[in-house]
Amino acid sequence: MNDKRIRFAIVGCGRISAHHAKAIAAHGDRAELAAVCDVVPERASRAAEEAGGIPWYDDYGKMLAAGGFDAVSICTPSGLHPEQGIQAAEAGFHVITEKPMAISLEPADRLIKTCDDKGVRLFVVKQNRLNSTVRMLKQAVDKGRFGRICFAEVNVFWTRPQEYYDMAPWRGTKALDGGAFMNQASHYVDLMHWLLGDVDEVDAFRDTLVRDIEMEDTGAAILRFKSGALGTFNVTMLVYPKNLEGSITVIGTRGTARIGGIALNRIETWDFDQYADEDREVLDTAYNPPTVYGHGHKGYYENVIDVLQGKAQPRTDGRSGRHSLELILAMYRAAQTGQRVKLPLT
């Protein structure tokens, strides 16, 4: 096994980057943050100072040319993820990209191919899979405790006021961000697919009801899974006055479970026809997340470091990240055409 200390660089020093920096610092015995970059020099210099005075850049190409790290964590607007990932891979660096990995399939596929061709790893951040509540639900699904799963519901009922979108001109745009499905609900789309498997067809509605943005602030989708189960996916950024709910409900012939709270942080229903030892842990899984991002970045980086040291396989790579992107795009296509959309997309 390789115990080499893993050095990371971060591009994009906005609010999500702080979670990456803290996660890297939490593994200070095996990893370090070696450089940061942002097109706004003040943000880059501030992030560099907070990390102990590491090198900072306001030009991504210059950071890649300077090197001094093993992997690049991409925390920029969503539409920039694939091209910046491709640049990093072509320079010989491993790639960790925030969700979504792209906002259309063609650049996502180019990113996957480039990483394959250059022999570097591609990780797509899906830290919510590591939530204690979600892990229990996944374990119950994998053990078959639900019997035949018949129905699932996902709700993302949050608030993003107009001020949120006005803070950065890329937010809510088609080219760089996407809407409520693509941005805020992306992790939940991933979890639905991870828990319940491939989707056969989708129907959907989406609209921009209140916010002054290019993409949707509200949407609803109906899904039929290849297993035969049905599901609904509901998202809005218009809850007053604060985030209300981020939940997943799974209903089967032998069990029903619901994870709720503002961000999957509490098991609200846990009923199965037969008792299992892990059921005693239900009450202990609840936690109070400081934000809707949860606590999963630390665990996610643990896996990244293990993989780069040759000790593990990646939990979420480019191909698994592509699944949720394709499903979101199917929802968009269904809403645009007014027709059901079959998967995979062509």
Q: What single string gives the DSSP state of each residue in 147-192?
A: SSEEEEEEEEE-B--HHHHHTSTTTT-TTTT--TTTTTTHHHHHHH
132 phi, psi to nearest 5 deg: -55, -40
State how far the alpha carbon of 41 is from the alpha carbons of 35, 57, 59, 340, in Å.
13, 7, 9, 46
Domain ranges of the chain: 6-127+296-315, 128-272+325-342
What pTM was computed for the model? 0.94
Strand partners, 8: 33, 71
CA quadruple 56, 62, 63, 66: dihedral sign: negative
What is the rounded end-to-end Cα distance, in angstroms, of the chain? 42
Is the pLDDT at 277 greater than 70? The verdict is yes
> Under CATH, to which class is 6-127+296-315 assigned?
alpha beta
Question: What is the structure's pLDDT at 3?
Answer: 85
Helices 186-196 and 318-337 pack at an angle, to 10 degrees, of 110
Q: Tell me the pLDDT of the chain averaged across its residues.
A: 96
Domain 128-272+325-342 part of CATH 3.40.50.1980: no
Place of tokens 């990483």: 115
Contact 294, 127 (CB under 8 A): yes
Place of tokens 């809005």: 236
Is the pLDDT at 289 greater than 80? The verdict is no
Is the pLDDT at 195 greater than 70? The verdict is yes
C-alpha to C-alpha distance for 172 and 271, rounded to whole angstroms = 39
Q: Which residues lie closer than 8 Å to 338 by C-beta, 6 or more apart?
A: none
State how far the alpha carbon of 264 is from the alpha carbons of 119, 183, 214, 238, 289, in Å.
36, 17, 28, 19, 9
- 130-166 pLDDT, tens per residue? 999 999 999 999 999 999 999 999 999 999 999 999 9
Q: What average pLDDT does this structure show over 219-233?
A: 98
Question: What is the structure's pLDDT at 114?
Answer: 98
